[in-house]
Amino acid sequence: QVQLAESGGGSVQAGGSLALSCAGSGHTYSTYYCMAWFRQAPGKEREAVAAIYTGGGYTYYADSVKGRFTISQGDGKISATLQMHDLKREDTAMYYCAADPNYCGLLTRTWDFVYWGQGTQVKISS
């Protein structure tokens, strides 16, 4: 089993920046993982924000965050960071880290990841 822990959420004013981190622990049997960030705002469906394959060759960004958010692999085998700039009120949501041993390109249809973190809250005020 793999456990994921997010950190770095908080409250900032619109136009500000935040960085989220995700660290995995436990039995990591795969060499590479697809790491992703999802978010869910109250009353809305969960959406994929960004994804990266730790073996290289794949990144994904939702249209709503392109040019503002950057996903990168962290230091550990199962880790990722999400740099968020020019934050907007509509970015307010619970952000979740997810990991899966499959290649990201195989997951984008259903976004059905095996491992999930508990989430970290991001609140953007005007």
Reported as a single tens digit per residue, the pLDDT across 11-23 is 999 999 999 999 9
- The pLDDT assigned to 76 comes to 85
- The pLDDT assigned to 10 comes to 97
In percent, the amount of the chain with pLDDT more than 70 equals 100
- Once rounded to an integer, what is the mean pLDDT over residues 33-38? 97
75 has pLDDT over 90:
no
> Residue 30 has which token pair?
């795969």
Q: How many CB atoms lie within 10 A of CB 34?
A: 26
Place of tokens 């880290």: 97
DSSP state of 106: G
- The pLDDT assigned to 29 comes to 85
Question: Looking at this protein, which amino acid is placed at residue 70?
Answer: T
34 has pLDDT over 90:
yes
For the chain, state the CA radius of gyration: 14
- The pLDDT assigned to 77 comes to 87
Place of tokens 């508990």: 118
**Per-residue burial over 68-90, b = 16 or more CB atoms within 10 Å of its CB, e = otherwise:** ebbbebeeebbbbbbebeebeee
SS3 105: helix
